[in-house]
Amino acid sequence: MKHPLSTYRKNFWWLLPLLLVAVQSCYSFTLSSLSADTKTILIREFPNNAALMNPNLSQQFSIDIQNRFLQRTTLKGTTTDPDVLIEGEITDYSITPTTISSAVNAPGGNIQAAQNKLTITVKVHYENKIEPEKSFDRTYSDEAVFSSNLDINAIEATQVKVVNERIINKIFNDIVANW
């Protein structure tokens, strides 16, 4: 006598192609919500207008967002009459204490930050000439918490990259994946 599971396994292999066709008809495996008619993109430099100045932030963010769209989509870069325009500005770059510690035997009870938080905020203007209803103006922000022992060079070498990556992921998902 055959075990009942062997019958199910045999039937499963016949159902798998049908399931894949059904899923593919409902969802696109390209994960792009951009129209097939959308061919070109222009991403302008994001100036750093934050009160606290990181001299490399504007260039680093601008290059990273350009690379994301040019490497992970079929869009071609252009400088004139793009189908998609992305521009904006960095409006906040701040480092603030989040966790306070005090030395046990410190004279006068000195208080110092044990952890700091880096916050970056970016305003984005997205214009889609092929599908104008998808255009938007939004503000994106993210943060990273790190030890107060890190110096400013270490923060800018590691934490800024982490926060930029997260913000660019959000922007990319809102434009391309439309999640």
Whole-angstrom CA distances from 130 to 41, 75, 86, 127, 139 are 11, 13, 14, 9, 23
What's the whole-number mean pLDDT along residues 137-147? 94
Position 150 pLDDT exceeds 50: yes
pLDDT tens, residue by residue, 21-64: 554 444 444 456 789 999 999 999 999 999 998 999 999 999 99
Q: Put the strands of the sheet holding 40-43 in their side by side order.
A: 76-77, 40-43, 84-102, 111-128, 136-147
The rounded distance, in Å, linking the Cα atoms of 40 and 86 is 11
Mean pLDDT of the chain: 83
pLDDT in tens, 96-116: 888 766 555 545 555 555 788
Local confidence band at 1 (pLDDT 50, 70, 90 cut-offs)? low
Label residue 17 by pLDDT band (50, 70, 90): low
More confident residue, 77 or 146: 77
Cβ atoms 70, 77 nearer than 8 A: yes
Task: Assign 10 a pLDDT band (cuts: 50, 70, 90).
Answer: low
- 153 pLDDT band (50/70/90 cuts)? confident
Token readout for 120 is 């970056």
The set of residues, in sequence order, having a beta carbon less than 8 Å from that of 17 and lying 6+ positions away, is none
Using the predicted structure, report yes or no on whether residue 175 has a pLDDT greater than 70.
Answer: yes
Other Cβ atoms closer than 10 A to 90: 21
The average pLDDT across 119-139 equals 97
